[in-house]
Amino acid sequence: MISSLETPCFIIDEEALINNIRDLHKALKDTWGNYIIGYSCKTNSLPWVLNLIKNKNCYAEVVSDHEYKLAEKIGFTGKNIVFNGPNKGKDMFEKAILNDCIVNIDSWREINWLNEFNFNKEVNVGIRVNLNLEKECPGETSVGDEGSRFGFSLENGDLKKAIDTINSIEKVKVNGIHLHHTAKTRSLNVYRVLSESACLVRDYFDYDLDYVDIGGGFFGGMPDKPSFLEYMSLISSILSKKYDNKKTTLIVEPGSAIIASPISFLCEVVDVKDTFAKRIVTINGSRTNVDPLMIKSGYFYELISDSKNIVKEQVICGYTCLEYDRLMRIEDSVELKIGDRIKFNKVGAYSIALSPLFIEYYPKVYIKNKDEYICVRDRWDVDEYIQKSYL
């Protein structure tokens, strides 16, 4: 029973997570057919999650040597790993290429490394496309007019230059393009522009590309938002103008779309007091647990209380010593008392990965399997933090 769980804790609904993965598989099968789901490990790299992802026929999308090693430890092979980002180490970069990993070049230093290696076989790499998404989707991107910092610019010619440079290296060939861009709206319009850009870049090649990696950033499991089928139908309809789905694989890199909605954070009230201004309800969780990026304006939540009294206003605050650790203000709601609980829902994106070692250490993580709750990560204590004696 949920009432028996030690708080604070994260709860992963296994069935909901599996359903999200299933729905994305179905949308891709029904539209493009030839596809790869590369789960974004950085969004939530809990080993239990990665193992389930692997068993549901998904790849691991990693952006550091540590994530690559973790993926291997979980059981992903090189051929089932997508290696992205500017934080690749030189040795792991070479290993990934030789292991037939999907490697997307993000920087000139990686191209310089390709020149230094003496490959004894033909190898392939992809390349990340940097484009002015804000121009085509005003107000929808997270960085605005400053533009993305990743990949090679389509507009200033660097992308074409980088492709030609890589293809001039002996035994190295560009076989795919990567177009992930962060958009705060996650709208269908964003993926229309990304797909059209993929078609434009297609003209840079006189051969068929093995893949188009459209990236991630989709909504998933959210009411009144675009569905997986809507996203994939739009992307496929545009890509089909320049790409053959029998020859070119569509890669998607979902993180939040899969993991956000199945995860909740359960905490409880540890103090209630009235100040001259407000009623303050302090919980044993923090905003850092459910909104580590500090960008949310509201939450999906449930109050677990047997109180009958209604209070006009209560300010829910975290355990930290920071004044801004205020999660929300609830109005005309039941009067919360010490021991009552609050369950924050749909908080699986980045929350576990970015929960800090600030004042408190990592909380427990439970898996909800039907009516059973199984602990898959114990709460950290001082011994886990110290690890090795310094005495």
Task: Identify the structural domains of the chain with CATH numbers, from first to last.
Answer: 2-10+262-386 (2.40.37.10), 14-259 (3.20.20.10)
Spatial contact of 266 and 5, defined as CB atoms under 8 Å apart:
yes
Q: How many CB atoms lie within 10 A of CB 55?
A: 11
Compute φ and ψ for 214, nearest 5 degrees: -85, -10
Closest CA to 209 of 118, 131, 62, 104: 104
What is residue 377's predicted lDDT score, i.e. its pLDDT?
96
Q: Which residues contact 313 (CB under 8 A, 6 or more apart)?
A: 278, 279, 329, 330, 331
**How many residues are listed for the chain in this entry?**
391
Q: What are the mean pLDDT values of the chain's consecutive 10-residue runs (391 residues total)?
A: 93 98 98 98 98 98 98 96 97 97 98 96 98 96 94 98 98 98 95 98 98 96 91 98 98 97 98 97 96 89 96 97 95 97 96 93 96 95 85 57
Distance, in Å, from the CA atom of 29 to the CA atom of 23, rounded to the nearest integer, reads: 10
Q: How high is the pLDDT of residue 45?
A: 97
pTM to 2 decimal places: 0.95
- The string over 294-333, giving b where at least 16 C-beta atoms fall within 10 Å of a residue's C-beta and e elsewhere, is eeeeebebebbbeeeeebeebbbbbbbeeeebebbebeeb
Q: What pLDDT is attached to residue 390? A: 65
> What per-residue confidence (pLDDT) applies to 299?
95
| Pairwise CA distance, residues 115 & 187, whole Å | 39
pLDDT at residue 24 in the model:
98
pLDDT in the model for residue 294: 86
| Three-state DSSP state, 364 | strand
